[in-house]
Amino acid sequence: MQTGKITIIGYGAMAQAIGEGLKEKYQIEIVGRNPTKGEEVAKKVKGNFYPLEGFDITGKVVILAVKPYALREVAQKLKGTGDILISILAGKKLEDLKVIPACHYLRAMPNIGAFYNSSFTALAGDKRAMEVGVALFSQIGEVIELEGDNEIDIATSITGSGPAYLGILQEAIEDAGVYLGLKREIASKLARGLFASFGRINEKGGIIKEKVMSPNGTTAEGVFKLQKEGVPGKIMEAIIDGYKKAKRI
């Protein structure tokens, strides 16, 4: 049963993933500059397409899902004052969003898990709009409420970019399996199985490491190698650099 209306500006990968998750509960409007692309996506999410130029957002709950650099251009094409504007744009601050008039502003940072209905979405902004934001993004996975732009920029680097870093790790593990003699298909299954089972543990990293690392054991050998080569520090650097980049957008 559909419980409300939602307007999504953009029809790219993220807009589609969010639309897919919302389509059973919400009546969806897809808004964008290219009718061919927009109508195709609107059909997939059981919604209607509307051209961006002159689109009136008055009183609407709007999810903004275009590229960060497009914010100002999109703002110039819209008219009216929205009820809640929820931006998923990396790096764009709550203050930046005010180029699009709305009563309440939220920033949401979903991740690629959204394509599999398993996003981990960070939300921050106007507390009065939080309930609506949580209800929406709970449709595509888990939600965590954060405080303000800085925490969202940190989350962007951890849960937003993180899947790319874990993708590199997963591929390296698979390659190691092949190096040691496994067929690619088997090595790939083992690497994916590892991540799938790990994802269900939901425990602090240090505790997981302690449980696996027995004295003078095989894991201790590997942990020593990772520590000696500075891998934990490099991972921290990647997250910190991603955060700094989010600050510069």
Ligand X SMILES: NC(=O)c1ccc[n+]([C@@H]2O[C@H](COP(=O)([O-])OP(=O)(O)OC[C@H]3O[C@@H](n4cnc5c(N)ncnc54)[C@H](OP(=O)(O)O)[C@@H]3O)[C@@H](O)[C@H]2O)c1
Site residues, ligand X (CB under 6 A): 10-15, 32-34, 37, 52, 65-68, 70, 73-74, 88-90, 109-112, 160
CB of residue 71 vs ligand X: minimum separation in angstroms? 9
> For ligand X, which is the closer residue by CB, 26 or 55?
55
DSSP strand pairing (141-145 vs 4-9)? unpaired
> For ligand X, which is the closer residue by CB, 41 or 102?
41
CB of residue 156 vs ligand X: minimum separation in angstroms? 7
CB of residue 16 vs ligand X: minimum separation in angstroms? 8
CA angle 240, 244, 248 (to 5 degrees): 170
DSSP strand pairing (82-87 vs 4-9)? unpaired
DSSP strand pairing (119-125 vs 102-109)? antiparallel
Tokens of 203: 């425990």
> For ligand X, which is the closer residue by CB, 16 or 188?
16
> For ligand X, which is the closer residue by CB, 113 or 177?
113
Buried b (16+ CB within 10 A) or exposed e, 74-85: beeebeeebebb
Compute the distance between CA of residue 210 and CA of residue 114 in angstroms, rounded to an integer.
Answer: 31
239 Cβ partners below 8 Å, 6+ apart? 157, 158, 161, 162, 165
Shortest-Cβ-distance residue relative to ligand X:
12
Nearest residue to 87 via CA among 42, 99, 164: 99
> For ligand X, which is the closer residue by CB, 159 or 187?
159
CB of residue 133 vs ligand X: minimum separation in angstroms? 14
CB of residue 37 vs ligand X: minimum separation in angstroms? 5
